[in-house]
Structure 1
Amino acid sequence: MAKLSADDEELRRACEAVIDGKEKVVVAIRVSKSRGIWGKPGKLGRQMAKPRVLALAIAARSKGQNAKAFLRVLKYSTGGVLEPAKLYKLKHLTKVEVMNNDPSGCTFMLGFDNLRSQSVAPPQWTMRNTNDRNRLLLTILNVHKDVLGRLPKVVGIDVVEMALWAKENTPTVTRITAQRNFPDGPVAAAITESDLKVTVEKELVSQVEEEDIEALVGPYVMGINEAEAFSERLKRELLALEAANVHAILENAPLIQEVLQGLEVATYCVEDMDEWLGIFNLKLRHMREDIASIEIRNNKLEMQSVNSESLIDELDKLLERLRVPSEHATCLTGGSFDEANMAQNIEACEWLTSALRGLEVPNLDRSYANMRAVKEKKTELQKLRSTFVRRATEFLRNYFASLVDFMISDKSYFSQRGQLKRPDHADLRYKCRTYARLLQHLKTLDKNCMTPLRKAYCSSLNLLLRREAREFANELRASTKAPRNPTVWLEGLGQSANSSDTSNVSDAYAKMLIIFIPLLVDESSFFAHFMCFEVPTLVASGGISNATRNVSHDDDNDDDDLGIMDIDDNDGKTGKSSAELEVLNESLQELLDGIQEDFYAVVDWAYKIDPLRCISMYGITERYLSGQKADAAGFVRRLLDDLQSRISVQFGRFVDEACHQIERNERTLRQTGVLPYIPRFATLATRMEQYIQGQSRVLVDQAYSKLINIMFLTLEKIAQADPKYTDIILLENYAAFQNSLYDLANVVPTLAKFYHQASEAYEQACTRHIGIIIYSQFERLFSFNQKIEDLLYTVSPEEIPFQLGLSKMDLRKMLRSSLSSVDRSISSMYKRLQKYLTSDELLPSLWDKCKKEFLDKYESFVQLIAKIYPNESIISVDEMREYMASM
């Protein structure tokens, strides 16, 4: 009796728990799953076996429906827990095969008719022993018979062996519940052990086979003791049957001979047929080779045909590139450059440019570039280009010269006597714009041709600009009414000579800039674009910067936009290399060189009339200079820089001359009172401030510093000539300097600095002069005071009265001689102060300073006497203040 450890209740319950109790598990057995190989039954592939659990389950249906049986495959998860792997419906089971390549007989395979892929070998299931195998297979067969009413095909296992095993292991078969079909409907029937036995026998041995077995065994029914006799009898009958078979064979020998002869004839026929088939096979092979060769040749011919068509197309395209249109050839080699023919010339240039680019390697396949026809055509196009560039260059050079010659020959273009005329180049630029696009194409065809064209344009237009500037400057000076005598500010002339109005001089210079600076900027911008310099836009439309517009708002604005587009793919560029800009500035230098002389002439003319007008002209130039920001207008900026420098130099000459006039006072005879250049400088500074009018102060402040330093230095030298009057000259002139520049010093920082310097010098001179006057009147008094102060450093105050010359008797003598007539002494001090002053305006302030200084000294003397000579009587400070106040 075999143990049922594999089919225990615990495994069945675990399986039912996995399927949620929806089905009744009849049997559950642990197996190993492996994959067989079709056509190779000898290899089981046990090394790939996987542990599985096969569970046979029955699902009960509701009333009127049959029960369904399932074969479930369960696997173990990572945690050793059962989980569903695969589900087979038992109604699709068609075959149960025990593998004969497993000697143990424990491996079998279940075949289902609904597997999707029949090319993959079905899985093979291996049991641990034959008891488990028989139990599982027997249960599957019984359920298949009871539920479905039929049996699958059984291969590789003896049915009798299965029946015998079932009989021996009947007590171990588990009771199952199946759904059977009865007339009254499906009812549950318990399959007993005896029923199971009958069921197995009926399934394994049919009724017909059972009857045959009974008929065979029936005549030989005997006891167990007759077995040997039965065996002997069977042997005899076997020998008899074998002899009968031999006899039958011998009787059929002629037939066999005929069969053999027929087989031999068939063999000959087969050999002939094999020979013929070999011949046919050889011929077919040769035919196959011929067909393949024909196909190869046909493919080559077809490919050659396609390539020939493509080659013809490419050659047609190449020939189209190489063809030179007759109308373009005629225009390039001998066409006219008149304005009416420029459209044709431009079209020919565009074609020539495109043709040359089309023959270059990036646009033309590299294999074509080495073709003789392409090289010859490229040479022909280069000759056309050289011819056209030479003709166009020669025409444009003559054309520029003719335009300028025509304008120069017509005097109406220039300023005439009594009439200032603004230069107008609108017609000149309009005629030049006709050839602007031609110049761009010339630059694309040959950059080297631009240099002579630029030089020709610059040299021609330079003549016109210089003539216009010269005529305009001459008429501007002739029509400006201004005093002809130069003004001498710091020598010889009085205030009345400086009152003439010279504003029209600086207005004339401003008009020169208003007319010509925008013109020069416009010409620079037009030249840069017209001559195809790759630089940023110079100025806004109209050609005048914002600063220039503010000055020349009443002038007309010319639209100098060329109205053309770049043709050499430079639209997106915002700047070019410094080399390109340097070439442009060199060309502008050649275009505008020489015109600065007429500007210089206006500056020199204005300087001769009124040197102070350099201040106004400097400010005007500075405003224009701040408005020139474009790099390509470099010449205009240099011109303004040069004008500013020249104005500075001219004004510097005026300042130097003024300084020379101031220094000449040093070499004259003895000077007294206020020097003449002090009030004249105040007038000069006032006029200079009027000319500044909110402009830059650099030029004027430098002049102030230089003039005042020279003035102060000359004043010091003149004052040192006579030491007796040094302080008087200094204080009077420094006071005059302060009085004359008081108002200007409050608003001009530079003058304020020198005002404070003069104030300090004035105070020092006053202190020295007052000290001399006081000391001259009270010499004994303050000498006695000085002796006491000197001895106090070495002698105690109590011992001072016992020193030589400082006794009380000496003190009384000194007081009697110095203070006995103090009112006369104070009056003499006032008269002496008044005597040496040339300006009475300074006397009150000086006398106040003198009284204050004397009282301070006397108060110090009184305190010292009270300390050294406590019992001596002396005029008190209050009494002395009353004396001073009474004067």
Structure 2
Amino acid sequence: MAKSSADDAELRRACEAAVEGTKHRVVMSIRVAKIQAAQGVWAKSARLGRGGGGGMAKPRVLAICTKQKPQRTKAFLRVLKYSSGGVLEPAKIYKLKHLSKVEVVSEDPSGCTFQLGFDNLKNHSMAPPHWTMRNVDDRNRLVMCIFNICKDALGHVPKVVGIDIVEMALWAKDNTPAVTNQQKVQDGSQVQKSEEVEDNAMRVTVEKELVSQAEEADMEALLGTYVMGIGEAEAFSERLKRELQALEAANVHAIMESEPLLEEVLEGLEATSNCVDDMDEWLTIFNVKLRHMREDIESIETRNNKLEMQSVNNKALIEELDKLLARLRITPEHATCLTEGSFEETPMAENIEACEWLTSALRSLQAPNLDPCYEKTLAVKEKRAELQILRSTFVQRASEFLRICFANLVDFMLSDKNYFSQRGQLKRPDHSDLRYKCRTYARLLQLLKYLDKNCLAPLRKAYCSSLNLLLRREAREFSNELRASTKVPKNPTVWLEGFIGSGQSANNVDTSNVSEAYNKMLTIFVPLLVDESTFFAHFMCFEVPGLAPPGGPANGKNESNDDDANDDNLGIKDINDSDNKKGNQISELPALNESLRDLLDGLQEDFHAVVDWAFKIDPLRCISMHGITERFLSAEKADAAGYVRLLLDDLEDRIATQFSRFVDEASHQIEKNEKNVRQSGVLPYIPRFAALATRMEQYIQGQSRDLVDQAYTKFVSIMFVTLDKVAQADPKYADIFLLENYAAFQNSLYDLANVVPTLAKFYHQASESYEQACTRHISVIIYYHFERLFQFARKIEDLMYTITPEEIPFQLGLSKGELRKVVKSSLSGVDKSIMAMYKKLQKNLTSEELLPSLWDKCKSEFLTKYDSFAQLVAKIYPTEKIPSVSEIQDILASM
């Protein structure tokens, strides 16, 4: 038998070099072949990795390793692979404590292939790899080594599947060197020494086998006894009981013989106990003396600590009283300024300084700046009451001054006409002077908010009331002058009324300056209103999360003056910055929206006036104005622009309402065609609608597509309904009327339908209706001239459902003679009948351009019907001769 790779010293040294530095000791190393379970091929050449397998088997080395720990020994199974240079390198490592199963693969008849099951593998979707050994001996050596290590180091043995445990024990016995049993007899008792056997190659002992040799010897002796003559179970049981009693008696005898030894041990323990008692008495005496000494030391330390603590406390108390006195001191200058100072622009710096001192003093007497132990002291209570009187006096004086100041600033601007638009001159509103003067009092407002938050509500209302008058005056003057300076057509544009000629002239009127005027109104005032809202929010100290910081560019601000670019920058620091960072402030967004409503309410009337004015001039301009409004609306996203968004929403709704009114009126004009209209030719509103749709597409801006598509849907729906009602008034010419109008609808909207999905849908609908009308009209003409011929064919088709074709010639009215009469009367002058069809088709049409296509459809339909008739005749009357389909086709082609 060839030498096993487990005995290869070079292989073991290579494995030890691969795991160097991991503190792992290699117990066994053996070469194997790795095969994926999905391959299902167990050729030995593939297992050994020597060709023929097409890369199915991969050479690997399995190394059983141990690692010593202070408390226990860890065992590992390492998989090593060969690198490109032929050097072993670690590939995978498994902990043997997780090994739950060793299973021999049943597909391999040689029994050399097995798989190891670990209970901690995460990827259970992939089958574990199969390991193939060179022979069964190599497999048994590896498995026995794993079992021995698991039993000794881990205390458990994995489950075995596909291997006979008895065969494994026999193999271990046959492949283990002889052992030496040494027996010694002392004091009449036999002691069997443990068997120690070491195999230099496998490094395992017989004690580690599944069934030890001692156990195997006992089993053989027991089985031999059974053979020697024990024939009944009861007799065998009695013998075992007698032997058990003899063993128990021998154990009792051995215990009685060891009694002198036990007496010597007890005497030694008694002497030791006496020594321990003496030691305990001496320790008790020393403990009492040490306790008295410890108490004296603690008393001395306590007196020293109290004296030191008293000294420290006295020093800290003096320092704290000095600080408290500094807080309680009120300077006469600040007190005078707070109660009697002027609020003019020059002494405003002194007022703000005094107010900042007052806020600082109030804050110093509040927790956590003031120690809670001072809260109930009389001096603190008196000083806090004095500061409260100063605060209420200053807040009342400052609030009254600011209310008057806001009113005076706005009254000054209202009295000067140069601030507003005048005849022949549009004036852009300029609030730079107003904001400059307001910034003087910005810091004062912040201090007032800290001193008394409730005082800001009247001030905000007063500011909004005053500025609202200014904004409404500016918007009214600008709106009036904007409409007066815009050149518009003298006669308003009228759509879908009257005749085509007058309407076409109206369509050529340019009304783009109307949309430009509306755009200019929004361009001027929307950024202004957003800036005013943002400035108001900062100026009046609103605490709104997400509000742009002072000095940041407001949304929608465009071509403003450079001096106004930072109008919102109040140049001050928030007095409550630290509180804001802590997130203690409550959002005042509802209060801000309410104040902005007071600030900007009433401005919508001037915007409505511009919208109504533009609608009267050209209702279609609502489309472009709707897109302009949407563009401005999408640009305003700041929290301070909330009411401006509401204003734009209101404008958008009003524009949509005006346009809806126009659509309703135009639809009513279409419905008027139902009465008192000539029942021939193309209705006038069809070409008018094409011109209207072309103009509407030119006006679309932004997201106004939905508005226009809704108008298209309503217009075309009413047009088609009205068309059907008009056609029903004269059923004789209904199909001619419908096909002409649907054809005109398609011709007029062909270009637009290619680019507008909504019109494309109606274009296809009109195309289907046109085809249906053509089919009905052509069928009427054909049956008018060849009614007898095709009625005869219809009778034959009806009878074919009930009787056989051979019986049809014997039915009443369907004989061969009747067929000849019908053919003679209908086809004797077929060229004249076909010409009569053409003339009738030409006579009823008012649109000559439709005649060629209709005539081609008529010839194709007639030829199809005649082909069906000829097939019926050939099937029912095979001996009868009629003009062939090719002859009729030649006649039609010559017409």
Q: CA deviation at 1:667?
A: 2.1
What is residue 821 of structure 1 aligned with on the other side?
Answer: 829
Cα 1:366–1:407 change in 2 (3 A) is same
Q: Say yes or no: does 1:558 pair with 2:574.
A: no
- The CA deviation string for residues 21-53 of structure 1, in whole angstroms up to 9 with x for no partner, is xxxxxxxxxxxxxxxxxxxxxxxxxxxxxxxxx
What is residue 508 of structure 1 aligned with on the other side?
Answer: 517
For 1:841, the aligned partner's letter is E
CA distance in 2, matches of 1:856, 1:469: 74
CA distance in 1, matches of 2:669, 2:681: 18
Q: 1:405 aligns with which of 396, 399, 411?
A: 411
For 1:758, the aligned partner's letter is A
Matches within 5 A, 1:193-592: 310-492=316-498, 493-536=502-545, 538=547, 549=558, 558-560=565-567, 561-569=569-577, 573=581, 580-592=588-600
Q: Say yes or no: does 1:715 pair with 2:723.
A: yes
For 2:463, the aligned partner's letter is Y
The 3-state SS of whatever aligns with 1:662 is: helix
Cα 1:831–1:753 change in 2 (3 A) is same
Provide the TM-score with structure 2 as the length reference.
Answer: 0.64
Q: Say yes or no: does 1:657 pair with 2:665.
A: yes
Contact 2:749 2:763 in 1 (8 A): yes
What is residue 96 of structure 2 aligned with on the other side?
Answer: none
Contact 1:535 1:575 in 2 (8 A): no
Q: CA deviation at 1:484?
A: 3.6
CA distance in 2, matches of 1:528, 1:548: 16
Contact 1:426 1:558 in 2 (8 A): no
Q: 1:855 aligns with which of 860, 863, 867?
A: 863
Q: CA deviation at 1:314?
A: 3.2
Contact 2:727 2:733 in 1 (8 A): yes
Cα 1:656–1:377 change in 2 (3 A) is same
CA distance in 2, matches of 1:365, 1:304: 20
Unaligned runs of 5+ in 1: 1-291
Q: CA deviation at 1:309?
A: 5.9
Contact 1:535 1:576 in 2 (8 A): no
Contact 2:742 2:769 in 1 (8 A): yes
Cα 1:650–1:597 change in 2 (3 A) is same
Q: 1:724 aligns with which of 732, 740, 754?
A: 732
For 1:511, the aligned partner's letter is K
Q: CA deviation at 1:483?
A: 1.3
CA distance in 1, matches of 2:450, 2:586: 20
Contact 2:526 2:556 in 1 (8 A): no
Q: CA deviation at 1:485?
A: 2.3
Contact 1:734 1:762 in 2 (8 A): yes
What is residue 835 of structure 1 aligned with on the other side?
Answer: 843
Contact 1:414 1:421 in 2 (8 A): yes
For 1:513, the aligned partner's letter is L
Contact 1:521 1:543 in 2 (8 A): no
For 2:356, the aligned partner's letter is E
Matches within 5 A, 1:85-104: none
The 3-state SS of whatever aligns with 2:347 is: helix
Between 1:295-304 and 1:518-527, the stretch displaced more is: 295-304
What is residue 783 of structure 1 aligned with on the other side?
Answer: 791
Contact 1:547 1:626 in 2 (8 A): no
The 3-state SS of whatever aligns with 1:685 is: helix
CA distance in 1, matches of 2:721, 2:561: 50
Q: CA deviation at 1:365?
A: 2.0
What is residue 810 of structure 1 aligned with on the other side?
Answer: 818
- The CA deviation string for residues 539-579 of structure 1, in whole angstroms up to 9 with x for no partner, is 58887666664xx5999862222221111125855989785
CA distance in 1, matches of 2:584, 2:380: 35
Q: CA deviation at 1:836?
A: 1.1
CA distance in 1, matches of 2:412, 2:362: 38
Q: CA deviation at 1:419?
A: 0.2
CA distance in 1, matches of 2:522, 2:403: 31
What is residue 76 of structure 2 aligned with on the other side?
Answer: none
Aligned length: 596
CA distance in 1, matches of 2:385, 2:563: 51
Contact 1:518 1:543 in 2 (8 A): no
Cα 1:299–1:635 change in 2 (3 A) is closer
CA distance in 2, matches of 1:824, 1:576: 101
The 3-state SS of whatever aligns with 2:666 is: helix
CA distance in 1, matches of 2:811, 2:571: 109
What is residue 256 of structure 1 aligned with on the other side?
Answer: none
Q: 2:679 aligns with which of 647, 668, 671?
A: 671
What is residue 614 of structure 2 aligned with on the other side?
Answer: 606
CA distance in 2, matches of 1:382, 1:477: 57
CA distance in 2, matches of 1:877, 1:632: 83
CA distance in 1, matches of 2:860, 2:460: 84
- The CA deviation string for residues 805-844 of structure 1, in whole angstroms up to 9 with x for no partner, is 1111111111111111111111111111111111101111
Contact 1:728 1:837 in 2 (8 A): yes
- The CA deviation string for residues 768-827 of structure 1, in whole angstroms up to 9 with x for no partner, is 111011111100011001000000001111111111111111111111111111111111
For 1:397, the aligned partner's letter is R
CA distance in 2, matches of 1:476, 1:355: 56
Cα 1:574–1:494 change in 2 (3 A) is farther
Cα 1:571–1:377 change in 2 (3 A) is closer
CA distance in 2, matches of 1:800, 1:527: 99
The 3-state SS of whatever aligns with 1:378 is: helix
Structure having the higher Rg: 1
Contact 1:535 1:574 in 2 (8 A): no
Contact 1:542 1:557 in 2 (8 A): no
Q: 1:740 aligns with which of 748, 753, 756?
A: 748
Cα 1:318–1:577 change in 2 (3 A) is closer
- The CA deviation string for residues 152-177 of structure 1, in whole angstroms up to 9 with x for no partner, is xxxxxxxxxxxxxxxxxxxxxxxxxx
CA distance in 1, matches of 2:781, 2:360: 104
Provide the TM-score with structure 1 as the length reference.
Answer: 0.64
Q: CA deviation at 1:883?
A: 1.2
What is residue 632 of structure 2 aligned with on the other side?
Answer: 624
Contact 1:522 1:543 in 2 (8 A): no
CA distance in 2, matches of 1:557, 1:687: 41
CA distance in 2, matches of 1:575, 1:504: 51
CA distance in 1, matches of 2:483, 2:551: 28
- The CA deviation string for residues 1-40 of structure 1, in whole angstroms up to 9 with x for no partner, is xxxxxxxxxxxxxxxxxxxxxxxxxxxxxxxxxxxxxxxx
CA distance in 1, matches of 2:585, 2:742: 61
The 3-state SS of whatever aligns with 2:710 is: helix
Contact 1:548 1:627 in 2 (8 A): no
CA distance in 2, matches of 1:578, 1:721: 72
Q: CA deviation at 1:341?
A: 1.2
Cα 1:328–1:810 change in 2 (3 A) is same
Q: 2:643 aligns with which of 635, 639, 645?
A: 635
The CA RMSD over aligned residues, in Å, is: 2.7
Cα 1:351–1:725 change in 2 (3 A) is same
For 1:325, the aligned partner's letter is T
- The CA deviation string for residues 447-486 of structure 1, in whole angstroms up to 9 with x for no partner, is 0001001000000000000000000000000000001422
Q: CA deviation at 1:432?
A: 0.3
